[in-house]
């Protein structure tokens, strides 16, 4: 299955579904922050997520219980890969350099990054 990028609204709903595991539109809506969107808006976005292949459902008569078809980790990997390809020429040094320059990482954060990178190579 090919993963595609999600809109901000789609991501917000996926975050809720990942947290809940599964739920009906009303359950997703209940977890959304104020001001809550209309029920039909949430329903439409979930159907779009279904068409994108990231959400499945179990039908109970006319109602549907929705659940994620991809994990949050799978989506995170996809988005990081897209970020690396589109903005950093697949270069980890470019990514780290960006964060050092733009985010003003301090020495403690840099040491933590180095520790993580060394651990990953073991």
Task: Give the pLDDT confidence of 79-93 residue by residue, as tens digits.
Answer: 888 888 888 888 888
**How far is 58 from 84, CA to CA, in rounded Å?**
36
Which class would CATH give 8-68?
mainly alpha
Buried b / exposed e along 51-85 (16+ C-beta atoms within 10 A): ebebbebeeeeeebebebbbeeeebeebeeeeeee
pTM more than 0.85:
no
Q: What phi and psi values does residue 58 have, to the nearest 5 degrees?
A: -115, 125
Domain boundaries, the chain: 8-68, 72-121
Three-state DSSP at 70 gives coil
Q: What is the pLDDT of residue 94?
A: 83
pLDDT tens digits along 24-57: 999 999 999 999 999 999 999 999 999 999 999 9
**Please, which residues bridge with residue 56 across strands?**
67
Mean pLDDT of the chain: 89
Residue 49: how many CB atoms within 10 A of its CB?
A: 23
Which helix (DSSP H) or strand (DSSP E) does residue 44 occupy?
Answer: helix 39-51
Asked if pLDDT for residue 1 goes beyond 70, the answer is no
pLDDT of 10: 95
């Amino acid at each position: 299955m090919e993963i595609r990028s999600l809109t901000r609204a789609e991501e917000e709903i996926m975050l809720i579904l990942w947290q809940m595991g599964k739920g009906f539109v009303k359950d997703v809506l209940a977890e959304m922050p104020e001001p809550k969107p209309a029920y039909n808006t949430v329903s439409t976005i979930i159907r779009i997520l279904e068409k994108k292949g990231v959400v499945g459902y179990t039908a109970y008569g006319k109602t549907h219980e929705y659940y994620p078809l991809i994990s949050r980790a799978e989506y995170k990997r996809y988005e990081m890969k897209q970020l690396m390809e589109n903005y950093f020429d697949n270069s980890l040094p470019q990514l780290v350099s960006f964060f050092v320059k733009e985010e003003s990482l301090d020495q403690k954060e840099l040491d933590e990054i180095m520790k993580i990178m060394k651990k990953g190579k073991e």
